[in-house]
Amino acid sequence: MLGCTNRPDNFLSLIRSMSVLNFLFLLLSCVQVLSCNKLDRDSLLSFHKHISSPPSDIPLNWSSTNCCIWEGITCNSKSRVTHLSLSGKGFSGTITPFLGNLTSLSYLNLSHNQFSGPLPFALFHTLSNLESLDLSYNLLYASQNHGLPVSIQTVDLSSNRFNGSINSSFFHGASSLISFNVSNNSFSGPLPSSICITSSFVKILDFSMNKFSGNISQGIGRCSKLEVFRAGLNSLSGWLPYDIYSVKTLSEISLPENYFSGPVNNSIVLLSNLSIIDLHGNELTGEVPTDIGLLSNLKQLILHTNSLNGSVPPSLMNCTSLKTLLLRNNHLGGKISSLDFSKLKELETIDFGNNSFVGNIPVRLCFCKSLSAVRLAYNHLEGEIPSCVAVLKSLSHLSLANNNLSDVVGALKILANCHNLSVLFLTNCFRDEPVRDNYSLLHLTGFQNLQILSLSGCQLKCEVPSWIGKLKKLRGLDLSYNQMTGTIPKWLGSMPRLFALDLTGNHLSGELPPEIGSLKALIAANADSNLYYLALPFLYGILEYDRLFYLPRGIKVGNNILSGNIPAELGQLTRLRVLDLSDNNFSGCIPSELSNLVNLEKMNLSANNLSCEIPESLTRLNFMSFFSVKNNDLQGEIPKGGQFDTFPNTSFEGNPKLLRRSFVGSRVDILLLVTAAKEPETLWHSLPFWLGYLVGFFLVGVSFLFNGS
């Protein structure tokens, strides 16, 4: 009985023992799963030997025996490496063929590093399971043009140093390819449109920013599932391939900055899924497709910088999803006010500049409450700025330059209500217009976010408006070629961000205030760090800029009637690149402090009454490519050395007392710079000089003969 009573305990003990054994078996199984394949581990370690981390970063720790737990590694249930992801680690070195041993690898991402050298495409022959390859943003180039793996679906080789042509064999067998991106390299030759013959699943093709050339041959139309086609910034030419209009799945066509010619076929309106059309910077002709309004999903229409003509089709106003409309730099015309912009509720950016549009500024633009950037510059528009523009609270960029508008004071009063306005160009808009309300012009309010203001060429007859001094964010101010009078206000020197000031061509008098030498943005190295791209580029002078940061730092007050000495305080503006004080009545000496302007590229002090010598210290200005002091009263010798050895005689002419040294062997000639405006001397007055010169030349010649013998 005693034995019978113990049986349940023994049975329970047996069960417990079996449970422990099962647990140990499961544990051992898990350990076995977590231990990676030895070949995979050795291959990864061989790859690791050829790469290095930045000194500031923690090096890659691949020291444990189990590679499945290493950083960037993922294994499957069979202990084989399937994912290798080391994006953005700052690694350098080479990609070795040892990775070809990872035969179960399906995902490889080494993007945003500094891998260099040839990419061993041969390793793809063994990576038969690879579906995703991302090697973008490295320094790789191709060794041999081998084909892609059969299993590949997405390829991103963008932003490397690959070159040469892409053969059709490169895609042979890649029947599952969905996305192919080789942008920002140096590939050349024809565009490999044969890719669509191999794979009918392709959705994304990006060949932009390379050196592809020639026509796009027929074949793109076979990519029946293609959604995105990009090949901008190449040297492609000819007409747009006609079979592209048959790819009904397309949502983006981006082919800018090429040499495409001919018209945009009206068949493009059959691509009802299109949301982006970017064909800018080509040689396209003809009209904007008449029925383009059928593209109800269109968000961006970018056709600027071509040779399109005709008028803007009214049907375009049916593209109610439109956000960006850029048609500048064409030959378009017609009455702009006839277009019904009221339907474009989503419109954010519109650029009709540099065309031949006529009529008034469309009042219906005011219905586009999302507008942030408007450029209608360089057309033939007339009338006043509509008062309803004041309701455009998102407006930050407005350029109406070079039109025939009226009522400058009314325009500024309206625009002062656009509180987000940061860029305002009204250049040459109000020519020869008398200012009826001078007090309002001088005492406006608003514009607190303004960063660039141009009222150049508006023939304004007033003093420099005092309200400008309240614009603490202003970086660029252009009031050139008006009829402004009075003095240059001292408060300009206290504007914290101002670094581009142009007051050229006015009637300003008095002295140049020393306070100008206190402009913080021209002194501190980190005073302006605005690197953001603007919604639209702008013309400043004759150059086009797309960032405020690139705006040249300069002070231009030429062609006024300023007098007195040049302030030595200007020498504090060490970030200054352009200094133009020409065509004034400045007198005294050129301050030696100007030699502290170490970044100066242009200095124009011509047509003043400057005297004394040119400071020798100016030869330290190593970036100065233009220098002029002509038509002054300078004296002494012209400095030698540095950039001064490159300046032509015309930079110094018109200074009768100014001498230039010229070394000939061991003899020194002092040459007098003769001004073209100086009265010619008579023969008898010049005869003693020429006799002395000839005698001296004869004696020197005889001396050389005797020395030579």
Render pLDDT for 75-97 as a digit per residue (tens, 0 to 9). 999 999 999 999 999 999 999 88
DSSP strands (E only) in 41-91? 51-52, 73-75, 81-85
Which residue did the predictor score with more confidence, 357 or 8? 357
Q: How far apart are CA 632 and CA 327, in angstroms?
A: 48
**DSSP output for 634-649:** -EEEPP-SGGGGTS-G
The Cα diameter of the chain in Å comes to: 157
Q: State the CB neighbour count (10 A cutoff) for residue 622.
A: 10
- Half-sphere exposure of 623 toward its Cβ, with a 13 Å CA cutoff? 13
pLDDT confidence band for 546 (50 / 70 / 90): confident
Cα angle at 151 between 145 and 154, to 5 degrees? 75
Residue boundaries of the structural domains of the chain: 37-73, 509-678
Go through 487-518 and write b for each residue having 16 or more CB atoms within 10 A of its CB, e for each that does not: ebbeebbebebbbbbbbbbbebeeebbebbbb
Residues 133-184: pLDDT tens digits? 999 999 999 866 678 888 999 999 999 999 999 988 888 888 899 999 999 9
For 325, 442, 536, 551, 553, the CA distances from 477, given in Å and listed in that order, are 28, 15, 18, 11, 11
H or E segment to which residue 660 belongs? strand 657-664
Q: How far apart are CA 25 and CA 499, in angstroms?
A: 76
pLDDT higher than 90, residue 30: no
Which residue did the predictor score with more confidence, 618 or 525? 618
Cβ 257 vs Cβ 233: under 8 Å: yes
Find where tokens 């013959």 sit.
197
The confidence score (pLDDT) of residue 34 equals: 52
Q: How far is CA 495 from the centre of its chain?
A: 27
Tell me the helices (H) and strands (E) count for the chain, helix number first: 6, 47
DSSP tag of 487: B
Q: How many residues does the chain have?
A: 709
Q: How far apart are CA 88 and CA 554, in angstroms?
A: 40
Cα angle at 8 between 3 and 12, to 5 degrees? 130
Average pLDDT along the chain:
86
Report the percent of the chain where pLDDT is more than 90: 71
pLDDT confidence band for 652 (50 / 70 / 90): very high
pLDDT confidence band for 261 (50 / 70 / 90): very high
Cβ 198 vs Cβ 225: under 8 Å: no
Backbone angles phi, psi at 413, to 5 degrees: -65, -40
Beta bridge partners of 313: none
Choose from 58-62, 251-255, 637-641 the range with maximum mean pLDDT.
Answer: 251-255
For 279, 327, 650, the CA distances from 323, given in Å and listed in that order, are 16, 13, 52
- Token pair for 448: 């607190």
Average pLDDT over residues 537-555: 80
Find where tokens 């084909």 sit.
147
Q: How far apart are CA 313 and CA 371, in angstroms?
A: 21
Closest to 383 in 3D by CA, of 364, 403, 360: 360
CATH topology for 509-678 is: 3.80.10
For 277, 433, 528, 626, 669, the CA distances from 646, given in Å and listed in that order, are 49, 45, 32, 9, 19
Closest to 474 in 3D by CA, of 503, 451, 504, 440: 451
Closest to 173 in 3D by CA, of 199, 137, 153, 196: 199
For 299, 307, 312, 427, the CA distances from 376, given in Å and listed in that order, are 20, 18, 14, 12
Residues 230-246: pLDDT tens digits? 999 999 999 999 999 99
pLDDT higher than 90, residue 294: yes
The confidence score (pLDDT) of residue 687 equals: 38
Cβ 424 vs Cβ 448: under 8 Å: no
Beta bridge partners of 235: 213
pLDDT confidence band for 662 (50 / 70 / 90): low
pTM value? 0.84
Amino acid type, 225:
K
Range in 191-200, 271-280, 356-365, 586-595 the model is least confident about:
191-200
Backbone angles phi, psi at 117, to 5 degrees: 85, -175
